[in-house]
Amino acid sequence: MLPCLGRKWMRLSTRNLKPTWNLINVVDASKTIVRGISGGAETIAKERVDTVVIGAGVVGLAVARELSLRGREVLILDAASSFGTVTSSRNSEVVHAGIYYPPNSLKAKFCVRGRELLYKYCSEYEIPHKKIGKLIVATGSSEIPKLDLLMHLGTQNRVSGLRMLEGFEAMRMEPQLRCVKALLSPESGILDTHSFMLSLVEKSFDFMVYRDNNNLRLQGEAQNNHATFSYNTVVLNGRVEEKKMHLYVADTRFSESRCEAEAQLELIPNLVVNSAGLGAQALAKRLHGLDHRFVPSSHYARGCYFTLSGIKAPPFNKLVYPIPEEGGLGVHVTVDLNGLVKFGPDVEWIECTDDTSSFLNKFDYRVNPQRSEKFYPEIRKYYPDLKDGSLEPGYSGIRPKLSGPKQSPADFVIQGEETHGVPGLVNLFGIESPGLTSSLAIAEHIANKFLR
């Protein structure tokens, strides 16, 4: 496996490496990094590369694009068979304005800046999107102080156009809505996430690595010749040697039931961006030489969506959000670009998830139809005409959170050498909502701060 990847990087570089493909075993990085490395034919192939981005979700794709536009040769690795298969494809597809987050937090800064960049990008590259606006609603007098706080936060975060509405004003905009007060955010919107991610791929890739009859092949046309994608490729672990990170990678066909797996290629990059999403912390713990003190604890919250059936037209034209709840923004209503109405996500904390499960994305994404019993009363607080039996199971996603139940919400964490002391390693932890909106701003930040 990975011979095509090796040949690709030989073509990009001036080195004339002749890789060998005898496999070795890789075990837990906290104990032994590799077993059986020796010289000659027994050694797995080594490749010196410029930049490796681990994770082809929307943030990883944005980072890869930005780095490649700045002249870096970027290798993007993902264990899945395509891009954006996990959190990036299991969300509300909402462009957030930047209201909810503490002033000067990374979430606030990146959401506001990212929204500007995202709308500009979507307009320039004709990505389907629509700035439909959002109403955050108070359905009782006890919620009005919380709505006032959101108005205050949004103003401090320099979100433009915010306006507090009386209930009758909001219900005039949305006749099926019921509320006593509402915060109007005209900058909020929706977009086609898949089209956005596909565009990021097209604007950055040279050749795409894909599987054909259990072999890796290359396809695609050169665009700017600075990025290569390798899917079905897992980073098993790594180690720091001579101030460089060495990564051990393999085909994802390794046995998920075993503690050991076979490395097939050793990569020696100048820069590594760990954008592995749900598995970012688990991967970081496999990097020998990175002090685990700098790896924050992981918490996971499942969110389910239900779609609205039996309607001729969507009941709302704008996004409608309740007051935020612990762990999320509440069961809100979204109308996508195809007119599909969906409600969610709720918050279900996932307990006892070990590092191996998160590393391999062994989460249960099934939607239990009985969860709709909790959706109906929450939705009817602002949409009282919701009919019994009209909610159908949609999909679910997992939030990669850094704070758990009863804890204060945590900010994004972006770590470089100045924090953990490992040269050329950038870790992205807890990139949950508003990660999609923030993606281009996160990429801009990483390029500005970590490129030398």
pLDDT tens readout for residues 400-444: 999 999 999 999 999 999 999 999 999 999 999 999 999 999 999
In the chain, pLDDT over 70 holds for what percent of residues? 83
Question: Which tokens sit at 375?
Answer: 């959706």
Long-range contact pairs involving 391-394 (C-beta distance under 8 Å, separation at least 24): 391/306, 391/307, 391/308, 391/309, 391/343, 392/306, 392/307, 392/308, 392/309, 393/304, 393/306, 393/307, 393/367, 393/368, 393/369, 394/304, 394/305, 394/306, 394/307, 394/342, 394/344, 394/367
pTM for this structure? 0.88
Average model confidence (pLDDT) across the chain: 86
Give the pLDDT of residue 5. 54
**Are residues 323 and 315 in contact, defined by beta-carbon separation less than 8 angstroms?**
no
Residues of the chain with pLDDT under 50: 1, 3-4, 6-42, 206-225, 255, 257-259
Give the pLDDT of residue 362. 84
